[in-house]
Amino acid sequence: MNVLVTGGAGFIGSHTVERLLSEGARVVVLDNFNDYYDPAIKRENLRAVRDQVTVIEGDLRDPSVVEQAFTALEGGLDAVIHLAARAGVRPSIEQPELYIDTNIKGTFYLLEACKRHGVKRFVFASSSSVYGVNKKVPFAEEDPILQTISPYAMTKMAGEQMCSNYSALVGIHTVCLRFFTVYGPRQRPDLAISKFTRLIHEDQPIDRYGKGDTARDYTFISDIVDGILGALAYSADEAAPKCSIFNLGGSQTVKLNELIEVIENSLGKKAEINEMPEQPGDVPLTSADVSKAAKLLNFKPTTHIDSGIPRFVEWWLNMRSKGLR
């Protein structure tokens, strides 16, 4: 099987690429190695498999680069796993046009290329942020979404709608995956777990927005990759709906104060807390109903945060020793 993984040098992407290779797939990685965080980290993510994949370094917003990725392997592509995106809720509030341009237009160019080349399987990385301030807990795929509260979430919802369009009009089998706060080795340095680990390790204060009672459904990276590969297999099922949406979460909602405590225990250091007001665009709670994914994708998250955070911290300290964190 020939698979294009966009954002394949990133956190989730590089783990997905490794799993695909282990299962015998031929992989093309499309990544622009942008400076949202240190590009050297992304290159390190791919170092172990660099000679086993075809890497196209370029921007999703350039149709010629997308075309290059679709024609890089002899025999063409069988499927696309679209993980590339401009990430982050707070930066999207500051630069909405960049997020609209990258996340919406980039997804459009990929789906157009699928149409042109007859690629019928498309897995799209969406986000739990599309639920906004959802009063029903846990969040289920059938819940009505009437309002998103950040440009980032809006672009992910637009991506889901585009997938629906191309499924209905072109016959591409699309699977949209709503990720719930993914963490683990290679996590981006701007995300809370990475940032807190670095600051506590350096004896610097951490910013805690609100009272620390916001809660997230944290999902370990290996569990997420299980879900992605399950979705890829599902996209080959001719009997399945042409467009499907699944939650991928850890089913373990954890409050911010509890998260900080687990990181403290893993590092053997106490955090100095800098109290901050609540942030615009942040949702107070995420909680995934994964029963649909369990039934149809055989998705069974197994890693609790009490074991996942120590594994992340061990990896982080190793990267720190190499000057990459």
By annotation, the residues acting in catalysis are 152
d(CA 114, CA 242): 14
Give CA–CA dist 57/59, Å, rounded: 7
Helix axes 305-321, 192-201, angle to 10 degrees: 60
List for the chain the helix, strand, coil content (%; round to 5).
Answer: 45, 20, 35
Q: Please check whether residue 208 is in contact with residue 275, taking contact to mean a CB–CB distance below 8 angstroms.
A: yes
Residue 272 DSSP code: P
CA gap 186, 194 in Å, rounded:
9
Radius of gyration of the chain measured on its C-alpha atoms? 19
Neighbouring C-beta atoms of residue 50, cutoff 10 Å: 12
Contact 216, 179 (CB under 8 A): no
Interatomic CA distance for residues 306 and 310, integer angstroms: 7
CB 156 within 8 A of CB 126: yes
Structure tokens at 275: 């109290």
Q: Which ranges in the chain belong to alpha helices (H)?
A: 11-22, 39-46, 63-70, 89-94, 96-99, 106-117, 151-170, 192-201, 221-234, 256-267, 291-297, 305-321
CA atoms in the 13 A half-sphere facing the CB of 270: 2
Distance CA 150, CA 155 (A): 9
- Both structure tokens of 82: 């679209």
